[in-house]
Amino acid sequence: MFDDDDATDIHPLFYGAPKTTEFKKLRKRIVQNVREAVEQYGMVEPGARWLVCLSGGKDSYTLLAILYELKWRGLLPVDLLACNLDQGQPGFPATVLPEFLQRMGVPHRIEYQDTYSIVVDKVPQGRTYCALCSRLRRGNLYRIAREEGCSAVVLGHHRDDILETFFMNLFHGGRLATMPPKLVNEEGDLFLYRPLAHVAEADCEKFARAMQYPIIPCDLCGSQDGLQRQQVKQILDGWEKNSPGRRQVMFRALTNIRPSHMLDPKIFDFLGLQRDLSEKTPNDIPDLR
């Protein structure tokens, strides 16, 4: 199915897709990764409506296109509504996304909320904007999802985002935690999905640039030097350079957790752990030599 040349341009989002074998393999890999995450984490409720958050970055463009491909193939029985939250950042090209989405025939909503002024006013000089910016953005997206009758807010965080968040929590937060592929908001009325959870950042970049999507950089946090995430990213880049494939090995570890081999008594009953005192024959005892 994926190699059907007649199905190359299945949606306006794929018009002009490269015909090269390399791009077809890339596209197939991303589709398979997203499908795997959607199925593994139980994201699909038939008849549901998803609010697909579009920032204008490479990741959100990739997310939108691949979700439409899965929908076209009958593998994603949900309605999709693209949404961009214009946060009032100076110089933000406000017309790029509306024009793109209209040209692609994608149902969408553009919402303007000047959270930029709030962030700049509230965050002390020299501190990063990310935490407050994210909270304000998330609150607005939840509101929009409710107004639009959506059951889920869908974000474009990929595998590398998840790994970086894990190490940020490890190095700076003193906890083992990261961005889950699926969760319920605090109010309990909306899901939050990350269908790109198994997709490498490099694949998102290659895909979005090959499709020549009009990428908009984030000048709010991207202009600040010394961010913890940037520092962690540099560490991971170094590990990957010295040992190619290291990122994927670490990501697999996040899906293969053994509570009995950690140290948290809240997730494993160490106090209730008992020895087996039944009589054993010599053949029952393993030879550990």
Binding residues for [4Fe-4S] cluster, by number, are 130, 133, 221
Task: Give the dihedral sign, CA 253/58/152/24.
Answer: negative
Determine what percent of the chain is predicted with pLDDT higher than 90: 71
Computed on alpha carbons and rounded to an integer, the radius of gyration of the chain in Å comes to: 22
Q: Which alpha helices (H) appear in the chain, and where do they start and end?
A: 21-40, 58-72, 96-104, 115-122, 130-147, 159-168, 201-210, 228-242, 246-254
- Provide the pLDDT for residue 223: 45
C-alpha dist (Å) from residue 20 to 15, 25, 27, 63, 210:
14, 9, 11, 21, 11
200, 252 in Cβ contact below 8 A? no
**Residue 222: pLDDT band with limits 50, 70, 90:** very low
143, 216 in Cβ contact below 8 A? no
- Provide the pLDDT for residue 225: 44
Give the residue extent of every domain in the chain.
Answer: 15-261
Task: Give the dihedral sign, CA 129/135/138/144.
Answer: negative
Model confidence at 9: pLDDT above 70? no
Side chain identity at 252, as an amino acid letter?
A: R
* Level-2 CATH architecture, domain 15-261: 3-Layer(aba) Sandwich (3.40)
- This prediction has a pTM of 0.88
- Provide the pLDDT for residue 10: 77
Binding residues, by number, are 130, 133, 221
Q: What is the pLDDT of residues 148-202, one digit of tens each?
A: 999 999 999 999 999 999 999 999 999 999 999 999 999 999 999 999 999 999 9
Q: What is the pLDDT of residues 127-159, one digit of tens each?
A: 777 778 888 889 999 999 999 999 999 999 999
